Structure formats: structure tokens, C-alpha cells
């Protein structure tokens, strides 16, 4: 029985490696954005408190980040806390605010070894000091790394981001620094928190929910959407590989008639 199980495991690893080789020969998405959903349900299924699901979800962040880095994805944006998540019970919010510290403090040596750079989008000022300090410290230490950008969306909301862009442009017009007629897509892009990043090619949402929940509404205009029933704490390398395979098999036309070439 054990021998049979071990044989099956070796075969699974072999086929995963083969799939990785195939995927690497085609176009790897530059930027993958993930709405990590289903932590609460994962915990409920196990009769555990919701925070146990978030803790398991944090472990998956490490696993998926390392795999995305191995595949040479350039940017991985993870929706870790939305502007609406403050409405959750205090005990859950406090727990979520502790995760960046726990995660980054233990993971920084590995981030350095793997050349991964930490960034953040969202309103940093409204985070508790210990959360902000942990993120700022990780951003500072990893700032010269050249590999994957691990971009946490923390206290992030897309509508408020767009409101800020509009206000800033309104001020610039009022002060005569820009003409209203010269506002175009690239001007708006340049004011977003993601101005320096490529647009996401793929948006993944776990747990079977099929909505955007105020996540990168402008930036996702041409992304391929991939929804999976898998709960975030169960997400793994195989799931990400499947998402990339699906992306590579889609015909991205950006509104024209011709598909792009993915190799």
C-alpha cells in the first residue's frame, strides 16, 4: 500500500515538473493578482475559529509566492485586507493586522535569498503602527531585490484610489498645471498606486465567489479572470499552474480581431 502511494506521489511530482516545463516555454503572465478568499469557510469546515483559516492562508502566501517567483512571474498582487474589511469583528481585524509582522519577520531571510521585493498598495497611514512598521521594514530591506515583486494590497480599495486620482487631477487643472483636455488613460495610470507596475494579466479569485470586491477596477480592464472553487488555504502550486495553463490557452485580443501569440 505504502509503495503504491509513494509511486503515485512520484508520478504526481513528475507530471507537475513536466507541466512546469511546458508552461515555461509559453508566455508567463507578467502580473498575477489574487483575491485570496475562503479562509473563514476553510476554518468552519474544520470546526476551527475563522482566524485559524487566516493563519493557514498566510502559509499559502509563502508557498504561492515562492512558486510564482520560480516561474519568473514579475508581480504578484495579493488582496490581503480591503477598506471594507474593517467592518469585521475587532478580534479578526486585530489578527489580520498581526499577520504582516509575523509573516515578514520570519520570511525576510528567504525573501532576500530568493531576491523577492516587498511592496504595498493601499492606505498605509490608517494601519496600526506595528503593521505599518513591519511592512515598511520589509520594503526597505528588500528594496534593491530584482526578482518577483510581492505586492500586498492592504487597506486597499479601488474606488477610493480612483477618487484620489480624480481629486489630484482636479487640483492640477484648477492650478493650471495640466489642461483638462490632455487627461488621458496614461495620465490616469501615472497617478495610480500601481503606476510603476505592469497591468495584471490574470485575476484569480478563490472559494467560488465571482465578484471583484472593489479590487483594481481600472487595472483589471483587460485581465483574464479565473475563478476557482478551491478555498485559499487549500490553494497550492498545482492550482496556480492550472490558472497559468488556462491563461495560456485563452485568446487575448484586447478588443481587436487577432489573438496575441503565447508561443
- Residues that are catalytic: 37, 85
Residue nearest to ligand FPP (CB): 40
Cell representation of residue 152: 500586498
Nearest-approach distance from CB 68 to ligand FPP, in angstroms:
15
- How many whole angstroms separate alpha carbon 188 and alpha carbon 172? 12
* Residue with Cβ nearer ligand FPP (41 or 164): 41
Nearest-approach distance from CB 10 to ligand FPP, in angstroms:
31
41 binds ligand FPP per the rule CB under 6 A: yes
* Residue with Cβ nearer ligand FPP (23 or 100): 100
Q: Where are the beta strands (DSSP E) in 194-239?
A: 202-205, 224-227
DSSP 8-class letter at 95: H
By rule CB under 6 A, what string of x and - marks binding of each residue 3-22 to ligand FPP?
--------------------
Query: Which residues, 6+ apart, have CB-to-CB distance to 126 below 8 Å?
Result: 155
Angle between helices 237-249 and 50-70 (to 10 degrees): 60
Given 52, 80, 193, 230, the residue binding ligand FPP (CB under 6 A): 80
69 binds ligand FPP per the rule CB under 6 A: no
33 closest CA partner among 248, 223, 235, 234: 223
- Do the Cβ atoms of 223 and 196 come closer than 8 Å? no
Nearest-approach distance from CB 94 to ligand FPP, in angstroms:
13
* Residue with Cβ nearer ligand FPP (29 or 57): 57
Given 36, 216, 220, 223, the residue binding ligand FPP (CB under 6 A): 36
100 binds ligand FPP per the rule CB under 6 A: yes
165 closest CA partner among 192, 140, 197: 192
> Cα-Cα-Cα-Cα dihedral of 236, 245, 112, 126, to 10°?
-70
By rule CB under 6 A, what string of x and - marks binding of each residue 109-148 to ligand FPP?
----------------------------------------
Single out the segment in contact with ligand FPP by CB under 6 A; choices: 94-102, 110-118, 168-176, 190-198.
94-102
- How many whole angstroms separate alpha carbon 224 and alpha carbon 67? 20
- Do the Cβ atoms of 39 and 54 come closer than 8 Å? yes
* Residue with Cβ nearer ligand FPP (154 or 244): 154
Query: Which residues, 6+ apart, have CB-to-CB distance to 143 below 8 Å?
Result: 117
- Do the Cβ atoms of 35 and 203 come closer than 8 Å? yes
Helix (H) or strand (E) holding 134: helix 129-141
- How many whole angstroms separate alpha carbon 244 and alpha carbon 239? 9
Single out the segment in contact with ligand FPP by CB under 6 A; choices: 50-58, 157-165, 167-175, 188-196.
50-58
Given 54, 117, 132, 205, the residue binding ligand FPP (CB under 6 A): 54
* Residue with Cβ nearer ligand FPP (132 or 165): 132
For ligand FPP, the binding residues (CB under 6 A) are 36-41, 54, 57-58, 61, 80, 85, 96, 99-100, 103, 152, 207, 232
Amino acid at each position: 500500500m505504502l509503495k503504491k502511494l509513494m509511486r503515485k506521489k512520484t508520478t504526481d511530482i513528475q507530471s507537475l515538473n513536466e507541466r512546469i516545463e511546458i508552461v515555461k516555454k509559453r508566455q508567463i503572465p507578467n502580473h498575477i493578482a489574487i483575491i485570496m478568499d475562503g479562509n473563514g469557510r476553510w476554518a468552519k469546515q474544520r470546526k476551527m475559529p475563522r482566524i485559524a483559516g487566516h493563519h493557514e492562508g498566510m502559509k499559502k502566501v509563502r508557498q504561492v509566492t515562492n512558486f510564482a517567483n520560480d516561474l519568473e512571474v514579475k508581480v504578484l498582487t495579493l488582496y490581503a485586507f480591503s477598506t471594507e474589511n474593517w467592518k469585521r469583528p475587532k478580534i479578526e481585524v486585530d489578527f489580520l493586522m498581526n499577520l504582516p509582522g509575523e509573516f515578514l519577520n520570519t520570511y525576510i531571510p528567504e525573501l532576500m535569498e530568493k531576491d523577492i521585493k516587498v511592496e504595498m498598495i493601499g492606505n498605509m497611514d490608517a494601519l496600526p503602527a506595528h503593521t505599518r512598521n513591519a511592512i515598511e521594514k520589509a520594503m526597505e530591506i528588500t528594496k534593491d531585490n530584482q526578482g518577483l515583486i510581492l505586492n500586498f494590497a492592504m487597506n486597499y480599495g479601488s474606488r477610493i484610489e480612483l477618487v484620489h486620482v480624480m481629486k489630484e487631477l482636479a487640483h492640477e487643472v484648477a492650478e493650471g498645471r495640466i489642461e483638462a483636455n490632455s487627461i488621458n488613460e496614461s495620465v490616469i495610470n501615472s497617478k495610480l498606486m500601481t503606476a510603476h507596475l505592469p497591468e495584471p494579466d490574470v485575476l484569480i479569485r478563490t472559494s467560488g465567489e465571482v465578484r471583484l470586491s472593489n479590487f483594481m477596477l481600472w487595472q483589471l480592464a483587460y485581465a483574464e479572470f479565473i475563478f476557482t472553487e478551491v478555498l485559499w488555504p487549500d490553494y497550492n502550486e498545482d492550482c496556480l499552474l492550472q490558472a497559468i495553463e488556462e491563461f495560456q490557452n485563452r485568446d487575448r485580443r484586447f478588443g481587436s480581431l487577432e489573438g496575441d501569440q503565447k508561443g
